[in-house]
């Protein structure tokens, strides 16, 4: 194992032992999953949290009901203590499955199960959890032939994330109320979801699982269609100092193509970083799984903040399936011309 990973494991061990002495207990943070009528992909993370005292104000109210809790700033999510190699019990459709979380407390597993299409629910808990939590699951019908996948940063949310100082501010200081949705993008994705009834909606980002609750609240608040978030875990791996965000996107795109070989995807991204190159590679390797590629063009100032000059943008591929525009409205018009809306 890489030295950095050993150091990280040692720090996690120390923090977990200290937190447990203070009475903190494992808490399952559920994420939306997806699957077919024969299997589901379950996603969650296990953290140590201080339980609410019986009869306290916190224990009496639902956490969604309080605006202050819904607007917790991002840095709080990065100070939580992940539970290493904890066992999580998954209850779904009358069956129970026990799986192990990874080094960062993340569970990403596939469970064989028979379910009907549409939104379903799984119940997750650890041996120390007081009550199970529910994880939503979107089940794709065998007849569905189209899916929607979107990048997050600078595609559905204006973040200028690659700029180091502003990225830290957006991640660790601002809550979701201060984040700005990309004009017209929520309407566009909602129209696509309505036209393509039963299509899976996937949000693929290089962001850390720590910010998943904040991103989910942002998407809900700005009326984006519900879907699964595919994020990554920050920090060292077994063989390198940092995880590769590009490899994370490539791997999940390939996985989706293999999991849903009959589905053709409408891919959304931006021209600020690597989306064009990643989507081009995916189209080259899986040409039958790409319905269209919609790229949001950053303004010159946004392009500079994103780490490149506008003139450095990759040339638009001469493929009628690719469309470019500065916002959701411009992309919608071109997708409508191609009969996709």
> What distance in Å separates the CA atoms of residue 163 and residue 66, rounded to the nearest whole number?
32
Q: What CATH number is given for 3-140 in this structure? A: 2.60.40
Higher-scoring residue by pLDDT: 96, 18? 96
SS3 sequence of 147-204: EEEECCECCCEECCCCCHHHHHHHHHCCCHHHCEECCCHHHHHHHHHHHCCCCCEEEE
State the pLDDT at residue 112: 96
pLDDT for 216 beyond 70 = yes
Q: Which two tokens stand for residue 270?
A: 């931006």
Higher-scoring residue by pLDDT: 78, 202? 202
Class of domain 146-337: alpha beta
pLDDT band, residue 146 (cuts 50/70/90): very high
pLDDT band, residue 83 (cuts 50/70/90): confident
Query: How much is the average pLDDT of 270-290?
Result: 93
The top-scoring range by mean pLDDT among 23-27, 268-272, 289-293 is 289-293
State the pLDDT at residue 89: 96
pLDDT band, residue 81 (cuts 50/70/90): confident
> What distance in Å separates the CA atoms of residue 199 and residue 34, rounded to the nearest whole number?
11
**What is the percentage of the chain residues whose pLDDT exceeds 70?**
69
Q: What are phi and psi of 197, to 5 degrees?
A: -60, 130
pLDDT for 303 beyond 50 = yes
> What distance in Å separates the CA atoms of residue 138 and residue 121, rounded to the nearest whole number?
9
pLDDT band, residue 19 (cuts 50/70/90): low
**What is the percentage of the chain residues whose pLDDT exceeds 90?**
52
Q: What is the pLDDT of residues 54-80, one digit of tens each?
A: 454 443 333 333 333 333 445 455 557
Higher-scoring residue by pLDDT: 109, 320? 109
The helix/strand/coil state of 115 is coil
In the chain, which segments carry CATH 3.40.50.1000? 146-337
Query: How much is the average pLDDT of 168-180?
Result: 59
State the pLDDT at residue 12: 60
Higher-scoring residue by pLDDT: 306, 241? 306
In the chain, which segments carry CATH 2.60.40? 3-140
pLDDT for 320 beyond 80 = yes
State the pLDDT at residue 179: 74
């Amino acid at each position: 194992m890489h030295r950095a990973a050993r150091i990280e494991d040692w720090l996690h061990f120390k923090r977990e032992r200290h937190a447990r002495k203070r009475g903190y207990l494992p808490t399952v943070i559920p994420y939306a999953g997806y699957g077919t009528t024969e299997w589901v992909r379950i996603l969650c993370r296990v953290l140590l949290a201080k339980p609410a005292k019986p009869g306290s104000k916190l224990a009496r109210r639902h956490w969604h009901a309080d605006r202050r809790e819904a607007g917790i700033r991002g840095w709080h999510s990065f100070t939580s203590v992940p539970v290493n190699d904890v066992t999580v019990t998954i209850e779904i459709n009358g069956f129970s499955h026990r799986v192990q979380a990874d080094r960062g407390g993340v569970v990403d597993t596939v469970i064989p199960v028979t379910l009907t299409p549409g939104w379903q629910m799984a119940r997750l808990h650890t041996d120390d959890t007081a009550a199970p939590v529910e994880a939503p699951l979107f089940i794709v019908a065998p007849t569905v032939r189209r899916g929607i996948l979107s990048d997050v940063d600078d595609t559905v949310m204006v973040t200028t994330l690659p700029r180091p100082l502003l990225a830290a501010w957006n991640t660790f200081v601002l809550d979701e109320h201060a984040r700005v949705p990309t004009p017209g993008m929520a309407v566009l994705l909602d129209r696509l979801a309505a036209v393509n009834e039963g299509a899976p909606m996937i949000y693929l980002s290089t962001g850390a699982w720590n910010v998943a609750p904040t991103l989910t609240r942002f998407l809900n608040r700005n009326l984006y269609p519900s879907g699964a978030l595919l994020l990554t875990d920050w920090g060292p791996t077994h063989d390198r100092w940092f995880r590769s965000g590009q490899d994370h996107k490539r791997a999940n795109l390939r996985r989706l193509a293999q999991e849903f070989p009959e589905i053709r995807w409408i891919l959304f991204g931006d021209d600020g970083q690597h989306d064009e190159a990643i989507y081009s590679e995916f189209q080259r390797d899986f040409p039958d799984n790409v319905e269209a590629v919609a790229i949001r063009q950053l303004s010159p100032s946004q392009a500079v903040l994103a780490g490149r000059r506008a003139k450095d943008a990759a040339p638009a591929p001469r493929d009628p399936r690719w469309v470019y525009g500065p916002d959701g409205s411009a992309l919608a018009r071109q997708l409508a011309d191609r009969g996709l809306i």
